[in-house]
Amino acid sequence: MFFVSPFEDATVVVLDGYGDDAASSVFTGAGHRLTRHWHGGIFDSLGMVYTLVTRHLGYEVFEEGTVMALAALGGDRYDAAMREVVRLEPEGRFTVDVRISAMTGTDCCAP
């Protein structure tokens, strides 16, 4: 949390699976105030991408951390495909291609 950090001001990046109205946000923290500069909608969610890839690989819901750890052992075989799913926009934001659910043949919410 910014408020307990030793810094007077900082950029605060929040990446969530599914937030109230945003899955990603960027704030400036200054003094005791946070100012939101932008947010990505609930479908622009890196958490959703991890959940879908996790399910596609045969792991259970909430085993995304395992897949994240396995990524350190992999190569760049799927780099181009993932760059199509998660696109970095010129101004620094990112978007998620919501067709990933169809691409992986999985439902992020099914048990």
Q: How many residues does the chain have?
A: 111
In the structure, how many helices (H) and strands (E) does the chain have?
4, 5
- Largest Cα–Cα distance in the chain? 46
* DSSP 8-class letter at 97: -
pLDDT tens digits along 62-92: 899 999 999 899 899 888 988 988 999 888 8
Backbone angles phi, psi at 65, to 5 degrees: -60, -35
pLDDT tens digits along 42-68: 788 888 888 888 888 899 988 999 999
pTM equals 0.71
